[in-house]
């Protein structure tokens, strides 16, 4: 059997066409492979940028939350202090009244307080009761007396008027209180004016 040259030519042409088709397909597949990789690269870059931005925004958000919490705590502390110490100036003014009452009761001679002298006795008792009542009111509002005779000198609570040697007392202790001091909720409102023992 002889194959005609025409048939051979047609077969070769078909074979070549098939090869060309396969080459075209493989080439288009290679191009498709190249294209997604460049798109993936762009997406990866975009993703990295977005992640970086998210990280920055998260950090800023956390800092803003922390700042807001600090401001809230400071404001709360200021409000609490205002509640406690808002009456400070009023208390200072009342201390002068308490001092005058104390001096008035001290100035009355004890030997004169007798039943034979009813007016002076009732006046004195009224002064003592008023003084006791004002001290109760002070205590109720957190205002406490500082009468530190015999205590160690503390510059935060006492103000030294003088230093003098005193027999039988340890140096640095308070020998005399010239003016009573006061504390409001643990904070010194008025230091006690004192005389301090020093070395002989």
Ranges of the chain with pLDDT below 70: 1-36, 200
Kindly state whether residues 102 and 163 are assigned to the same domain. Answer: no
Kindly state whether residues 113 and 176 are assigned to the same domain. Answer: no
- Asked if the structure places residue 102 within a domain, the reply is yes
- Asked if the structure places residue 85 within a domain, the reply is yes
Kindly state whether residues 148 and 125 are assigned to the same domain. Answer: no
Nearest to 154, CA basis, from 181, 117, 178, 185: 181
Kindly state whether residues 88 and 133 are assigned to the same domain. Answer: yes
Burial of 80 (0-12, 13-18, 19+ CB in 10 A): exposed
Q: List, for residues 20-35, the tens digit of each pLDDT value.
A: 555 555 555 555 544 5
CATH number, domain of 91, equals: 3.90.20
Kindly state whether residues 72 and 109 are assigned to the same domain. Answer: yes
Per the structure, how many domains does the chain have?
2
Kindly state whether residues 127 and 166 are assigned to the same domain. Answer: no
Kindly state whether residues 136 and 56 are assigned to the same domain. Answer: yes
- Asked if the structure places residue 33 within a domain, the reply is no
CATH number, domain of 171, equals: 2.30.22.10
Kindly state whether residues 159 and 195 are assigned to the same domain. Answer: yes
Kindly state whether residues 134 and 58 are assigned to the same domain. Answer: yes
Instruction: Tell me the two tokens of residue 195.
Output: 């005389």
Give the range of the structural domain holding residue 160, as residue numbers without chain letter: 143-199
CA distance 95 to 117: 30
- Asked if the structure places residue 36 within a domain, the reply is no
CA distance 183 to 123: 29
pLDDT of 23 reads 57
- Asked if the structure places residue 22 within a domain, the reply is no
Kindly state whether residues 93 and 148 are assigned to the same domain. Answer: no
pLDDT of 34 reads 47
pLDDT of 113 reads 85
Kindly state whether residues 93 and 170 are assigned to the same domain. Answer: no
Nearest to 183, CA basis, from 160, 163, 154, 152: 154
Kindly state whether residues 50 and 97 are assigned to the same domain. Answer: yes
User: pTM of the entire structure?
Assistant: 0.62
């Amino acid at each position: 059997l002889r194959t005609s040259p025409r048939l051979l030519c047609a077969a070769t042409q078909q074979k070549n066409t098939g090869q060309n088709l396969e080459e075209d397909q493989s080439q288009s597949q290679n191009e498709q492979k190249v294209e997604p990789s460049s798109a993936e690269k762009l997406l990866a870059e975009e993703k990295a940028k977005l992640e970086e931005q998210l990280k920055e925004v998260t950090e800023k958000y956390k800092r803003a939350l922390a700042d807001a919490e600090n401001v809230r705590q400071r404001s709360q502390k200021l409000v609490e202090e205002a509640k406690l110490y808002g009456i400070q100036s009023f208390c200072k003014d009342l201390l002068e009244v308490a001092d005058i009452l104390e001096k008035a009761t001290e100035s009355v001679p004890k030997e004169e307080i007798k039943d034979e002298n009813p007016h002076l006795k009732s006046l004195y008792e009224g002064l003592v009761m008023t003084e006791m009542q004002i001290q109760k009111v002070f205590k109720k509002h957190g205002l406490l007396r500082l009468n530190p005779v015999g205590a160690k000198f503390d510059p935060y609570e006492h103000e030294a008027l003088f230093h003098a040697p005193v027999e039988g007392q340890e140096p640095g202790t308070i020998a005399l209180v010239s003016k009573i001091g006061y504390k409001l909720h643990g904070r010194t409102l008025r230091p006690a004016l004192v005389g301090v023992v020093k070395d002989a």
